[in-house]
Amino acid sequence: MYPGYPAGRAGLIRITMEIQNIKNRFNIIGNSPALNYALQVATQVAATDLTVLINGESGVGKEVFSQIIHTLSARKHNPFIAVNCGAIPEGTIDSELFGHEKGSFTGAVEARKGYFETVNGGTIFLDEIGELPLGTQARLLRVLETGEYIRVGSSKVQKTDVRVVAATNRDLLQQVQNGKFREDLYYRLSTVPIRVPSLHDRTEDIHLLFRKFAADFANKYKVPSVQLNEEAIQLLIGYPWPGNVRELKNIAEQISVLSSDKVISAEALGKFLQPYPKNRLPVLQSAAASGGPEFANEREILYKLFFDMKKDVTELKRMFVELLQNPELAATHPQFVNQLQEWRGPGSSELLPATASPSASSVATPVSPVIHTGFARANSNIQEHEEVEESLNIIDKEKELIVKALKKHKSKRKDAALDLGISERTLYRKLKEYDIEE
């Protein structure tokens, strides 16, 4: 079951004891097989200098695994530093990681050491590695392959001996296909991958974790510990936990502080659980509900949305052309005009023919429609028309969505990024890339 350990009962007992010791040392709660396997892999790889890539959703505790790897390694007496790559602005991340020389850029009043220099001999944990700009990825690849780096504004090559442990909650292979992450760096980082299971994949640990958190908060706030009845336990286990262990801990703290009853029912627990967060991007009907194809990423969803919009526009043009050719349709088929008004929106009566509101006299003497379109006409008859293809460029649409989001939230980047479903740092990069003025 666990490679690298002797088979049989003795080997299983040894594995179990080592994993339990790690759990006790790092305050890890749970007995899920997936969690135990991830801990076992971290224990085995710790004794080496191999680069490790930790995968897992936000809130599962990826940083704890980096600390386990460092503490059980030969570098345990040397420095350890955790760097959140998504929290450092793109313009300064090279300086943070590799240092800079005095005068290398505006504000560089003195030389500064980077993390790879100050942590020499130790371990650096790069969280949210998928947020690194492509230029920084190239620099990091050189460090991993040769141990060499150059300070910003310098031409002198320096050496470092740092073990890199990276983590991400993104699908890096998908980012490689989208051109947002270097393929060579991905394979260099994932020498040993560790998958930290999500909370909804280890349901047997949910109630155990809640009891531990409730006991801790009861001791912290000097209140009796809360307990769940059977219905509440089932509700707790059935909740999807998008925020994973971090969210469960927050819920336990809220209940411990705010609940007057110490035996919590399912109804009382439901008041503390948030609705499952929905995707804020334009989402089509789910594959499971419609029986249709499942979209692999947001780009495919946007393409499908734009193609559907193009079909609607083409149909609208066809209806206008038919109305121009047959003005009597406005009188005899009012639902035809209603459809046009519905698509065009309120205040669009000037685009409809005078027969849109038919009467007995108007039916007898139809009036030529006054429609402002791009169609060429001669002697009030259509001779030819030209369909103008709508732009389906994904970059143009992405830029349009960003501008709309910023306008909607009055240039507040944080709110706009949340509405678009991307990180604030990614939005900042997109603003620079598309030269969008706020």
Q: Assess whether the region 200-270 and the region 394-433 belong to the same CATH fold.
A: no
The three state secondary structure string of the chain is CCCCCCCHHHHHHHHHHHHHHHHHHHCCCCCCHHHHHHHHHHHHHHCCCCCEEEECCCCCCHHHHHHHHHHCCCCCCCCEEEEEHHHCCCCCHHHHHHCECCCCCCCCCCCECCHHHHCCCCEEEEECHHHCCHHHHHHHHHHHHHCEEECECCCCEEECCCEEEEEECCCHHHHHHCCCCCHHHHHHHCCEEEECCCHHHCHHHHHHHHHHHHHHHHHHHCCCCCEECHHHHHHHHHCCCCCHHHHHHHHHHHHHHHCCCCEECHHHHHCCCCCCCCCCCCCCCCHHHHCCCCCCCHHHHHHHHHHHHHHHHHHHHHHHHHHHHCCCHHHHCHHHHHHHHHHHCCCCHHHCCHHHCCCHHHHHCCCCCCCCCCCEEECCEEEECCCCCCCCCHHHHHHHHHHHHHHHCCCCHHHHHHHHCCCHHHHHHHHHHCCCCC
394-433: CATH topology is Arc Repressor Mutant, subunit A (1.10.10)
pLDDT at 81 (0 to 100): 96
Token code pair at residue 144: 């991993």
Nearest to 282 by CA among 303, 296, 299, 301: 301
Identify the residue with better confidence: 92 or 295. 92
Residues 226/259, Cβ–Cβ less than 8 Å: yes
Both structure tokens of 54:
């930790």
Say what the pLDDT of residue 70 is: 96
What per-residue confidence (pLDDT) applies to 424?
81
CB 205 within 8 A of CB 35: yes
Distance CA 359, CA 357 (A): 7
Top pLDDT among 349 and 267 is at: 267
200-270, what's its fold?
Helicase, Ruva Protein; domain 3 (1.10.8)
pLDDT tens readout for residues 365-380: 444 444 444 444 444 4
pLDDT at 44 (0 to 100): 92
User: What pLDDT, on the 0 to 100 scale, is given for residue 383?
Assistant: 47
The tens digit of pLDDT for each residue in 4-16 reads 545 556 666 777 8
pTM (two decimals): 0.61
Domain range list for the chain: 8-197, 200-270, 394-433
Indicate the range of 66-70, 303-307, 408-412 predicted with least confidence: 303-307
- In whole angstroms, give the CA distance from residue 416 to residue 278: 16
Q: What is the CB neighbour count within 10 angstroms for residue 336?
A: 17
- Whether 63 has a pLDDT exceeding 70, the answer reads yes
CATH classification number, 8-197, choose in 3.30.450.20, 3.40.50.2300, 3.40.1410.10, 3.40.50.300: 3.40.50.300
35: exposed, middle or buried (Cβ count in 10 Å: 0-12, 13-18, 19+): buried
| Contact predicate 52/194, CB 8 Å | yes
Question: Looking at 171-175, 207-211, 283-287, which range is the least confident one?
Answer: 283-287
Q: pLDDT-based confidence at 212, cuts 50/70/90?
A: very high
